[in-house]
Copies of this chain bind each other. A is one copy, B any other.
């Protein structure tokens, strides 16, 4: 069984958590075992989730995620200021370099690509929209961690110490911290082949009026296409684009257009 307990709200939503890339389909029996719910309870949950459209089941086959998910994703694409305002910058960067650009949101302990665009003839990235990436390695993760408020950085370094070390960012926590300070100073992070071999990532954080980054803008490009100088050039562009995007986001905030309410009663 995965989770301890929680209130019934959390327990219903916990059902959604077991659907992963490794396991996209579950039978009620399997869910009972995995989640430790009783039969009637599980069926009640499933019924509710199914009615909400979050799950769907073909008769007597397993359950999978449902159509409401597709609908919500569509709505999200229309509502997320990050995506809406980021598009322009993605386009600009892909125009300027032969690369794949990613707009990646930070949430919980993951980072998640919410939009991407490519101009490389042979795209190398394996992270399309919606595929979560682990924190801990790669330019994106580092571009976010480096810009966290001081007291949040150290715990994160410790949590991902293995990864950060193996990536050559330093041997001790202090050394790594120093390197992250350098990232912070430069305004962008660079990683060579940390996520995908032969691919260089250059990422800069995106802020939303607050002090902590909420997302990262990243250019990934084939290593053979770049040298130190070009990486610097890309870094500058990415940093500026990210800064500009951040500014747009917080400007939007300051003048919150009160959208009209549409009722149907």
State whether B75 touches A21 (Cβ < 8 A): yes
Give A260 Cβ to nearest chain B Cβ, in Å.
Answer: 8
CA distance A67 to B80 in the complex (A): 10
Copy number of this protein in the oligomer?
A: 2
Interface centre among A65, A71, A262 (most CB of B within 10 A): A71
**CB-defined A-B contacts under 8 Å, sample of 25:** A9-B45, A12-B13, A13-B49, A19-B72, A19-B79, A21-B78, A23-B259, A23-B262, A24-B78, A25-B259, A56-B107, A58-B208, A61-B253, A64-B76, A64-B79, A65-B80, A67-B107, A69-B73, A70-B114, A71-B112, A71-B130, A74-B129, A74-B131, A75-B130, A77-B130
Q: Is A251 an interface residue (CB 8 A)?
A: no
Q: Is A239 an interface residue (CB 8 A)?
A: no
CA distance A44 to B59 in the complex (A): 34
State whether A19 touches B75 (Cβ < 8 A): yes
Q: Is A48 an interface residue (CB 8 A)?
A: yes
- The size of the chain A interface, using a CB distance under 8 A, is 64
Q: Is A22 an interface residue (CB 8 A)?
A: yes
With A23-B259, A25-B79, A52-B13 as given contacts, are A253 and B73 in contact (CB-CB < 8 Å)? Answer: no
Q: Main secondary structure on chain A at its contact with chain B?
A: mixed
State whether A22 touches B262 (Cβ < 8 A): yes
State whether A53 touches B107 (Cβ < 8 A): yes
Contacts of A172 in B (CB 8 A): none
Q: List 17 extra interface pairs beyond A9-B44, A73-B73, CB under 8 A.
A: A9-B12, A12-B12, A13-B54, A16-B68, A19-B72, A19-B79, A20-B75, A21-B78, A24-B78, A25-B79, A56-B107, A58-B214, A59-B210, A65-B80, A67-B107, A68-B107, A74-B131
Q: Is A191 an interface residue (CB 8 A)?
A: no
CA distance A265 to B21 in the complex (A): 16
Contacts of A193 in B (CB 8 A): none
State whether B59 touches A132 (Cβ < 8 A): no
Q: Is A168 an interface residue (CB 8 A)?
A: no
CA distance A232 to B248 in the complex (A): 52
Contacts of A108 in B (CB 8 A): 53
Contacts of A128 in B (CB 8 A): 74
Q: Is A8 an interface residue (CB 8 A)?
A: yes
With A9-B9, A72-B69 as given contacts, are A52 and B107 in contact (CB-CB < 8 Å)? Answer: no
Q: Is A10 an interface residue (CB 8 A)?
A: yes
Contacts of A20 in B (CB 8 A): 75, 262
